[in-house]
Structure 1
């Protein structure tokens, strides 16, 4: 039986917390998504684990692709938008080696 979904503190949508191979926590959307880039599985202790599939280590049969929540969080998307009247200077700076 899967534990109940947690909720994002910013947008309040349901999420699942996973533990990455590096030992960090990663929030993913609770439903599998073929466009996702996080392979999620439950280990022998019941912990949700995640990793990024590569060409050398592709998706295994027991893993499902999920989208990291930071990519779909509406609150995070709003934070990326600049306020009205503010210009992103990177858009106007010349690039070296043009």
Structure 2
């Protein structure tokens, strides 16, 4: 998967692959798929950096949208196949045990 236009492996829709910038609460350098068309209800600022790579970051009150950025919707929020798989948000340092349990045979 390259940086830029691509296809979602789950729903086969067009996406824009970006590299995340470090923010107040997020580390940078992770890959994020966003919907390719800007969306007014999105929460992700997208732009091209000096090397023409697509980069994204979370828009916050402390870091509002800049004039050279466009607001996009993260693709996991709109992907029909990922909506079914979204995990429950648990507090930090809490482990989901259901993923670690193995099914037991009933007799």
User: TM-score over 0.5 for the alignment?
Assistant: yes
User: Is 2:56 the counterpart of 1:54?
Assistant: no
Q: Return the offset for 1:4.
A: 6.8
Aligned residue pairs: how many? 78
SS at match of 2:12: coil
For the residues of structure 2 that align with 1:52 and 1:78, how far apart are their CA atoms? 23
Q: Which blocks of at least 5 consecutive residues in structure 1 are unaligned?
A: 81-98
Partner of 2:47: 41
For the residues of structure 2 that align with 1:53 and 1:28, how far apart are their CA atoms? 14
For the residues of structure 1 that align with 2:71 and 2:63, how far apart are their CA atoms? 14
User: Larger helix proportion, structure 1 or 2?
Assistant: 1
Question: What TM-score comes out, normalization by structure 1 length?
Answer: 0.74
Q: Return the offset for 1:5.
A: 2.4
Question: What TM-score comes out, normalization by structure 2 length?
Answer: 0.68
